[in-house]
Structure 1
Amino acid sequence: MDELFPRPPVVIAPGAVHVPGWLDLPAQQRLLADCRAWARPPAGLRTVRMPSGGQMSVRMVCLGWHWYPYGYARTVVDGDGAPVKPFPARLARLAAQAVTDAYGEEPPESPESPESPESPELASGGYDVALINYYDRGAAMGMHRDSDEKSAAPVVSLSLGDTCVFRFGNIRSRNRPWTDVELRSGDLFVFGGPSRRAFHGVPRTLPGTGPAALGLTGRLNVTLRVSGL
């Protein structure tokens, strides 16, 4: 359904930008069809078990590099052992365009601090890994930060299906201050520069809020990163 009043882009924190409605419905449908293909075995959708023994309520499939707690591999080391599916060039192009649309031609620089990645990867290029998270009813993601990459490139996040509450915090701890952002199907969220190591999570999704024409029950989050590996 079209917005009566279009939602403008919003800077949530330095280097963190929410761009509502970045993907139109046909683009969402194409990306969803791709995600369904990527989710098939081998190296398909899996439940992630943490070292503590608990398991994430969100299910995941990876492209390019396989993420597991807390590292990357070329095979599904915590699943069926199959080689990870390749990272498509079209996702790299999509990520580069997302960074440009969020920031303009000059991405924000990461501060020189222990919290910053060390690799001098270009912020708008070199994307080589995707984490695709599926949230069914009741699934959530605790506060965490994306710290297993060796690159300072911004994280690109795309939403499909049900709306979620995305909690974007600070770089120091999982505690306040944070900002809750409503991410709807087609929305883009990019965080880099001073916010690259910010804690973030999804405390809840809103079942039944996705566009009916998409044909998706639940929520998909497609997260694109530069591994620096």
Structure 2
Amino acid sequence: MNDTMDIEAKVKAIAEARAAKPVLDIVESFLRRLGASHILITGLPMPNRTIDSLVHRFRWPDERNGGIERSTLASNDPALMLGLSGNRPTIRSVSPSEIAHSELFGAIGEGARVMVVPVDALRPFQAMVMGAGRQLSTEPYDLAALEIVSSAAFRRLFELGVISDQRPGDLSTRERRVLELTALGKTAHEIAEDLQISQRTVHAHLQNASAKLNASNKTHTVVEALRYGQIKI
């Protein structure tokens, strides 16, 4: 009961916050309580887009550099893909391969664990809360509670005007609709008839979507559109 009341208090405090800082402080303090020494609260960029304007809290000491906090975050860091790989919070150990290929995980080093909470409360906008460290430890309830708090935090940031529910590079409404119909097996001819546009326009929408998603073919475009929350089927 006390744990439930604690989560309710956090959500209430977030809803009553008048600025971004107290909202982010609540999420960070939760992560710290679970043993996280490294904190990242950020929106996730579309392919080939920068992440700078989407980052809200970045507390990431680099253990290779005397614990000095990193000041930059690369939008193509493989660690960010964990926020796109599922819709449920997870916690696990960081693998040697991830340490070798990710600057974020490389900054923590061996023996670290990572907790990732995807946030899609503002679809198609996507975000993630990540906590990492050698002392990270959670119970199943903690992950569920953090998911509730993280979603409440991003909704409040949106209400405060701190973030938009759109990202640079998002597909247009028509591009999304064409891809949704493509995912359902419709041909270009059928899509053109359904939307009352020409087949040439259908192909143009598919090409534009493919370019935005950095996809190599029609199937890949649909897969990436699903991954980046652009369409639902």
Select the structure with the greater relative contact order (CA < 8 A; seq sep ≥ 6): 1
TM-score (norm 1): 0.30
More strand by share: 1
More helix by share: 2
